[in-house]
Chain A
Amino acid sequence: MDSSTSTKKNTKLFVRNQTCFKKSSLSSSNAKKTTNLSMREQTMFKKALELSTLCDIEVCVIYYGRDGKLIKTWPEDQSKVRDMAERFSRLHERERCKKRTNLSLFLRKQILHDKKLSEKVLEMEDSLESGLRVLQDKLLLLQPEKNQTELGQSCAVYSTTYPLSSPSLIEDHQHQQQWTEPLSNTE
């Protein structure tokens, strides 16, 4: 298994050339031990191998990096992968969709089976609400500043139209919610 675990503490955010992982400095102290990227790749390919041999089925993995370049495929012989991919692409649309999962769908299914879901949901809700308050206060602070600057620039028309847009956005949001209700009722 992953016996050798190494932790890289990189507080820089979104620096592409230096690090492949993105970590926020706030949670770095609380972060779990994260194995190296190459170790994770090897684990995934190893699991694919085990699955194919144990259950006597065909498995292929296509792995593109963040910049869009093809990093690796499993099996490494690309002709097999190409063959399987062609078979997949030839299928009718219905059959493709039967047992297909997306990242969000898969994670959602995984989360509903989690036993500590309620605690995590509460934590997330609290942080969301606090973040909302902070940002709303900041937005209110920014608007009068903009009004003053625009008055100095003698662009009165734009300043009158801008504050109207934010309540309209909120109203649009509420309308969206109202529209979503009848769909759920029909379900």
Chain B
Amino acid sequence: MRFVPYLYEIERLWLSLVNYLSPRKNKNRRCGEIDKIRMVKKGGTKRKIAIETIQKSDYLRVTCTKRREGLFSKASQLCLLSDAQIAILATPPTSESNISFYSFGHSSVDAVVSSFLSGQRCVPLQEDTKEMREDVAICLSRTNLGLGFWWNNESLNKSENPQEISDAINSMLTLLSNLKELSGEEALVNDHKDLKKNERSDVVLQHGTQYETLNPNSNTTTICCVPDELPANSNEIVGISPNPLIMLEKKKSQIEEKFEKEWQVSVTRIENEATSSYAKRRRSI
């Protein structure tokens, strides 16, 4: 009973000695913690590359492609915002000897380059060219940059010139048809991606099952469907016949044919592999 407080006192003395003898370590630890806190406050771990020539050819190619696209996109933004005419020429990396120049230009590369060589001024662009009006991509990218649609323009809504209004209506109709064509392209791209996924999954599954149960017809139902037809009112208002839907259906049938062919090819490959493996087993026996 009497020894217990004595032990407590010994522990206290020991701890005080330890703290007294090692002040530097404590200070070091505290400094480290502060640095960590500062590092955290900086936010994230992103770092920038040093702007030097890249030595590995693969990295160099990839970097070249990506940064070229970035440069072109910046130039396109400038063209849209300030009606500038820009031409960019870039040589390929040394590994690619087939291609001579990568180039981007607005209004066109040839026009800008020729005017530069001759030392003359470029012909200034018209503010609303018909081609610019009727291009879907340009209109969409303009909205991304904060400029509105051209048909919501105040001057157009207030004008009472029938010629101008009829021109605007015609260009709007062509723009609408182009827009539907673009949405069709997007649907095709998505369908193609889905088909690839289906193929991979099917092939993986079929390896585990018996070969006699192959049924290509059942898998064709997984193809995505074309969206339903448009209501009649929109056709009447727009005045366009439902031709793009017919085009979509034709493309759908083409895709189905391709899929069936590829399926049959894969089936024959698997059968051949099976027969060859069976023959090898017989020989070994």
A-B contact count (CB 8 A): 299
With both chains docked as a complex, state the minimum distance between the C-beta of B197 and any C-beta of chain A, in angstroms.
17
Q: Is the CB of B186 within 8 A of A118?
A: yes
Q: Is the CB of B177 closer than 8 A to any CB of chain A?
A: yes
Complex contacts, A170 vs chain B, CB 8 Å: 239
Contacts A64-B112, A127-B149 hold; do A51 and B166 have CB atoms under 8 A apart?
A: no
CA of A41 to CA of B78, assembled, Å? 8
Q: Is the CB of B86 within 8 A of A64?
A: yes
Q: Is the CB of A146 within 8 A of B162?
A: yes
Q: Is the CB of A177 within 8 A of B67?
A: no
Q: Is the CB of B71 within 8 A of A89?
A: no
Q: Is the CB of B34 closer than 8 A to any CB of chain A?
A: no
Q: Is the CB of A88 within 8 A of B139?
A: no
With both chains docked as a complex, state the minimum distance between the C-beta of A95 and any C-beta of chain B, in angstroms.
5
Complex contacts, A26 vs chain B, CB 8 Å: 148, 152
Q: Is the CB of A68 within 8 A of B157?
A: no
Which residue from A28, A120, A181 sits with its C-beta under 8 Å from B143?
A: A120
Q: Is the CB of B89 within 8 A of A84?
A: yes
Q: Is the CB of B138 within 8 A of A104?
A: yes
Contacts A40-B78, A47-B74, A51-B67 hold; do A111 and B146 have CB atoms under 8 A apart?
A: no
Q: Is the CB of B99 within 8 A of A98?
A: yes
Q: Is the CB of A131 within 8 A of B89?
A: no
CA of A54 to CA of B52, assembled, Å? 5
Q: Is the CB of B89 within 8 A of A60?
A: yes
Interface centre among A71, A82, A107 (most CB of B within 10 A): A107
Q: Is the CB of A164 closer than 8 A to any CB of chain B?
A: no
Which residue from B140, B157, B172 sits with its C-beta under 8 Å from A132?
A: B172
Complex contacts, B76 vs chain A, CB 8 Å: 103, 106-107
Contacts A88-B103, A96-B110, A104-B138 hold; do A127 and B152 have CB atoms under 8 A apart?
A: yes
Stretch at the interface among B117-125, B210-218, B260-268: B117-125
Q: Is the CB of A129 within 8 A of B174?
A: no
Q: Is the CB of B92 within 8 A of A57?
A: yes
Q: Is the CB of A55 within 8 A of B101?
A: no
The 7 A-B residue pairs with the shortest CB-CB distance in the complex, in nearest-first order: A31-B146, A107-B137, A68-B121, A108-B137, A24-B148, A27-B148, A55-B64
List 8 interface pairs A-B (beta carbons < 8 Å), by A numbering: A24-B148, A54-B49, A64-B112, A96-B109, A106-B73, A110-B137, A124-B143, A129-B238
